[in-house]
Amino acid sequence: MIDLHTHSLFSDGLLLPSELVYRAKVNGYEAIALTDHGDLSTIDFVIPRIIKISKELTEHFSIKVLPGIELTYVPPSRISAMVKKCRSLGAKIVVIHGQSPVEPVPPGTNRAAISSGADILAHPGHITEEEVKLAKKTGICLEITTRNGHNKTNSHVAGLSKKFGAKMVLNTDTHAPEDILTPEKIEETLKTSNLTKQDYEIMIKNSKEVVKKTK
Ligand SMILES: [Zn+2]
Ligand SMILES: [Zn+2]
């Protein structure tokens, strides 16, 4: 299993990176990205620390740990510049907190994220056809999420992504131990998203490609 969207104590997650990563390893993960929420006020504090612990845990827990960030409620006109800033600080995975159906994320966030150079647009809610077509062009991955609330629009995101050939990845957006991925969770999410086992194989391949690109 691969999960490219999780939260630790460095934002609003319940666990230290070390516990989060070890629990993921016990559940059978091969790779995990630590992507705490960040904006201009926190990225220079959080990213270097996440890089340090990712290196330590990759070496000593035998699981691939990728240092990342989830840019959250960044003004859409600033998203591209912030992605570059996060990369220059060493973030390997950049996720954008998309226009979830259950939060007032600034309008224009999905659109700005798609052409920002980020790796993943998380929980993109009622993303439009035009935006999905653009995602196919830029190669950003659109997220199918196991997280309650955000997952309300999974079947919408999945339907348009398949129709227009945009890439999808399956992530948990883990904040607490019970959120960590299990085979049952995957099965349930595929079912409610109108996705097949075959679609899941493709999503795994997409996640692996994102991981590979970080080398
Ligand atoms: Zn988010
Ligand atoms: Zn998140």
Residue range 154-200, pLDDT digits in tens: 999 999 999 999 999 999 999 999 999 999 999 999 999 999 999 99
Structure confidence at residue 180 (pLDDT): 98
Structure confidence at residue 215 (pLDDT): 84
- The type of residue at 209 is E
Secondary structure class of 168 (helix, strand, coil): strand
Q: Is 90 exposed, middle or buried (0-12, 13-18, 19+ CB in 10 A)?
A: middle
Both structure tokens of 108: 């224009």
Q: Which ligand neighbours the alpha carbon of 8 most closely?
A: 2
Model-level pTM greater than 0.75? yes
Q: Is the pLDDT of residue 150 over 90?
A: yes
Number of structural domains in the chain? 1
Q: Which ligand neighbours the alpha carbon of 122 most closely?
A: 1
DSSP character at residue 150: G
Q: What is the mean pLDDT of residues 112-140?
A: 98
- Tell me how far the alpha carbon of residue 152 lies from the centroid of ligand 2, in angstroms: 15
Interior angle at CA 45, CA 19 and CA 148, nearest 5: 50
- Tell me how far the alpha carbon of residue 137 lies from the centroid of ligand 2, in angstroms: 24
Q: Which ligand neighbours the alpha carbon of 5 most closely?
A: 2
Using the Cα atoms of residue 61, residue 62, residue 63 and residue 65 in order, give the sign of their dihedral. positive
CATH number, domain containing residue 44: 3.20.20.140
Name the H helices within the chain. Answer: 17-27, 43-61, 79-89, 109-114, 129-138, 154-164, 183-192, 197-213
Q: What is the mean pLDDT of residues 39-63?
A: 98
Mean confidence (pLDDT) of the chain: 98
Q: Is the pLDDT of residue 8 over 90?
A: yes
Q: Domain containing 194: what range?
A: 2-213
